[in-house]
Amino acid sequence: MSALTARVFRLPDLGEGLTEAGLVQWLVAVGDTITTDQPIAEVETAKSVVELPSPFAGVVIALHGSPGDTIDVGAPVLEVADAAASDAHEAYRTEERAGSGNVLIGYGTSEREVKGRRRRPAARPGAPTVTPDLSSAAPDTPVTTPEIGDPRISRTIPPTASENRTIIRNSDAEAAARRPVAVRSPLVRRLARDLGLDVRLIAPTGADGAITRADVLRAAVDHAVDGVTAAASAPVEGGPAASALESDARIDGLAVRSRTRMSPLRKAANATLSRSRAEIPEATVWVDVDATALWNARAEMAPEGGRAPSITALIARFVLIALEDHPLLASRLSPDASEVIEFEGVNLGIAADTPRGLMVPVIPHADALSAAELDAALRELAGTARGGTMPPERLRGSTFTLNNYGGFGVDGSAAIINHPDVAILGLGRILERPWVVEGEIVARRIAQLSLVFDHRVCDGGYAASFLRRVVELIEHPLRAFGRV
């Protein structure tokens, strides 16, 4: 029998130059036997939530990190031990060399043999038992609970008021840490993360042992009650501990309600938006457009037994037609801003609001698609983005961005350009408003278009010409399809 070996799985490069990922939840526990390529955790990158497969087979002996933690690329994720691990890993390497699609970018490509951590040797028969001196311990009986992030490490804490509550009892701590997490809904998982709760420590009441929204809220209430109890026993005002609590819990006289760490997605969006504001001298032009003809013609565009293209798809088609005559607005600047790079075709970015935040999925070569094909692509992108399963490669490469913020119930917006694009077009609500037509005030469906552009690439006249072309196509939609 081969000697017991231990391997450390480190967070791989997940692509796109990402340097970290947020741990959403563990899919395995210490003591579980796993197989090669078995998903062991869900991680959130700046692009999407993905399952992380293990390159090793064996028994899990350590998990590094708790849900909500950020793990750097190259940092340990979990440790696996198995007498036959070397054979399993060699099979994995063979599959990798053959081109397995299960291998993520950057891991499984080099051996990372790491010795297992030292374990306390088992007591020999007849050996004396060493009992620690507890004479100086606090009056309360200490209890041992697993340290989050490494279930093999323990620490001693006094019992608190939460011991008999829903979240967890100390006597059940080890079992809770080992219990598989059953969170079916991403919204429930996000709620727990926003409330600062560890889903492994929440008692499930849902079907098949699933954790429900009510379970999370109940645990949050119990956690809050425990916090109030702890605060009641805090030192009196004026003491050193009180001063530390005051500085941490209040800012400028206001109580701090919560502190939430930025998710990888939010950090990536912040970096892009900050760079855009810092580097791009942007300008904005806008115009009100009569979309009545488009509104009425849309119903006639539905194929027999099918559905009509969405307003967003139709306006996207008009935008792409206008960009044929105004290619500078779908170009890019070279890194040193000394050249304007124009392209054959347009990769259209579509701003989408998702539970994880703003995303801009991309339709490559959108200029080659019909209105119906654009509509199908938009529906697929929206569903994938909101489901949190958008692959990173589908969130890069845009050369022009369209943002239909009318769905939020607003009429206009001074949008920020999606770097490295040089322009973004926004569409507001389409509402019935009084409008003058041939000297008469009539009810028409009016929307506002807002174009934000990089003034280094073109001047206002060029941008206004593009906007007028889009307006013409919206007000006379049949011209776009060669029927007038």
DSSP string spanning 77-131? EEEEEETTHHHHHHHHHHHHHTT-TTPPTTSSSS--B-PPPP-PPPPPTTPPPP-
Mean per-residue pLDDT over the chain, rounded: 75
**Each residue's pLDDT tens digit, 73-84:** 888 999 998 645
Secondary structure class of 67 (helix, strand, coil): coil
What sign for the dihedral angle of Cα 34, 203, 259, 246? negative
Residues of the chain with CATH 2.40.50.100: 5-97
Contact (Cβ atoms closer than 8 angstroms) between residue 53 and residue 38: yes
Whole-angstrom Cα Rg for the chain: 29
How many other C-beta atoms lie within 10 A of the C-beta of residue 390?
22
Identity of the highest mean pLDDT range in 122-131, 143-152, 216-225, 360-369: 360-369
**Using CA atoms, how far apart are residues 163 and 254, in angstroms rounded to an integer?**
31
Contact (Cβ atoms closer than 8 angstroms) between residue 426 and residue 415: yes
For residue 480, name the pLDDT band (cuts at 50, 70, 90).
confident
**Using CA atoms, how far apart are residues 295 and 300, in angstroms rounded to an integer?**
10
The answer to whether residue 294 scores a pLDDT higher than 50 is yes
At 482 the pLDDT is 59
Which residue, 187, 242, 197, is CA-closest to 220? 197
Structure tokens given for 165: 């509550």
The CATH number assigned to the domain with range 264-480 reads: 3.30.559.10
**154 burial type by CB count under 10 A (0-12 exposed, 13-18 middle, 19+ buried):** middle
The answer to whether residue 125 scores a pLDDT higher than 70 is no
Long-range contacts of 187-192 (CB under 8 A, 24+ apart): 187/213, 187/355, 188/212, 188/213, 188/216, 189/24, 189/25, 189/67, 190/355, 190/356, 191/216, 191/217, 192/67, 192/216, 192/219
Q: What is the DSSP letter of 372?
A: H
Q: Any idea which residues carry the catalytic annotation?
A: 455
Q: Tell the residue number behind the tokens 């000297």, with chain if given.
A: 439
**Using CA atoms, how far apart are residues 7 and 76, in angstroms rounded to an integer?**
10
At 167 the pLDDT is 41
Contacting residues for 192 by C-beta, under 8 A, at least 6 apart: 67, 183, 198, 199, 202, 211, 216, 219
Which has more confidence, 230 or 374? Answer: 374
The CATH number assigned to the domain with range 5-97 reads: 2.40.50.100
Residues of the chain with CATH 3.30.559.10: 264-480
**Each residue's pLDDT tens digit, 1-54:** 444 567 899 888 766 556 788 888 999 999 899 988 888 998 887 657 778 888
At 175 the pLDDT is 52
At 143 the pLDDT is 39
**Using CA atoms, how far apart are residues 286 and 289, in angstroms rounded to an integer?**
10
Report yes or no on whether pTM surpasses 0.75: no
Which residue, 15, 87, 81, 86, is CA-closest to 45? 15
Q: Give DSSP secondary structure letters for 260-290.
A: -PPPHHHHHHHHHHHHHHHH--EEEEEEEEE
